[in-house]
Chain A
Amino acid sequence: MVNRILVGAHYGLKDWVIQRATAIVMAVYTVVFLVVVGAVGPDSFEAWRGIFANGFMRFATFLFFVSLFYHAWIGVRDIWMDYIKPDGLRLLMMIATAAVLVGYAGWAVQILWRI
């Protein structure tokens, strides 16, 4: 019999699912991106810009970035939880991580919608 001691309300299942869902989104995007770049063969600024000016690719790239930042949040947070033992420092690292990732999300939107 598994005699596990349960801690907390939801046992981290939500994050476990999101980590995998975002991974699938990124994996699909990676294949799509490589195929598109392979087909276009962007050797000029206009061709390269054209890839992201396309409505579908802009949306897909945005979805990729959102998935990336959420995925990175869970992964980096797990790293802090594994190696940073003092509670205060761990909290500080988590807040800093979340802050930069939210900032990157804003930056990514700015990059994609200025094209």
Chain B
Amino acid sequence: MAEMAIKKRRPKNLDLPTIRLPLPGILSIIHRVSGAALFLLLPFLLWLLQSSLTSPETFAGVRDVVGHPLVRIVLLGLIWFYMHHFCAGIRYLLLDLHKGVELEAARLSSKIVFVVSIALTLIIGAKVLW
């Protein structure tokens, strides 16, 4: 009954092609997508960690796997997802503390998240993958 009352009061616009998402909105959906993707790839990442720590042979095997161009691209994408989730998450923690909740500040901080997370991705990718 309570659920019905809530539903009735909410206006809905879910016509996706007509919605122009502002940058904080894009940040938000990537936060969700990146979280889901990291969750789905957990077994692969745990397997990589396990193999890298088992023996010198399996460690070398991980190096070979990571050296494969396709795996490199996937891992670079994962590093970006992790860094985006990390930076956007810190932004959300600050928003929880009512820091930067004004429109201009929120837009600026979402820009900062994209710049910093992509920069960190490139730095870490360059160090670890290449």
Query: Which residues of B approach A to under 8 Å, CB–CB?
Result: 2-3, 5-6, 32, 35-36, 38-39, 42-43, 46, 49-50, 52-56, 59-60, 86, 89-90, 93, 96, 124
Contacts and interface: CB of A to CB of B under 8 A. Distances in A.
Interface residues of B, dominant DSSP: helix
Interface of A: 5, 7, 20, 23-24, 26-27, 30, 34, 45-46, 48-49, 52, 72, 75-76, 79, 100, 104, 107-108, 111, 114-115
29 contacts: A5-B2, A5-B5, A5-B6, A7-B2, A20-B96, A23-B89, A23-B93, A24-B93, A27-B86, A27-B89, A30-B86, A34-B124, A45-B55, A46-B56, A48-B53, A48-B59, A72-B39, A72-B42, A75-B32, A75-B36, A75-B39, A76-B35, A76-B39, A79-B35, A104-B46, A107-B50, A108-B46, A111-B49, A114-B54
Contacts of A20: 93, 96
Contacts of A23: 89, 93
Q: 3 closest Cβ contacts across the A-B interface?
A: A45-B59, A45-B56, A5-B2
A75 B3 CA distance: 22
A45 B35 CA distance: 30
Nearest to B2: A5
A77 B93 CA distance: 20
A52 B46 contact: no
Nearest to B38: A72
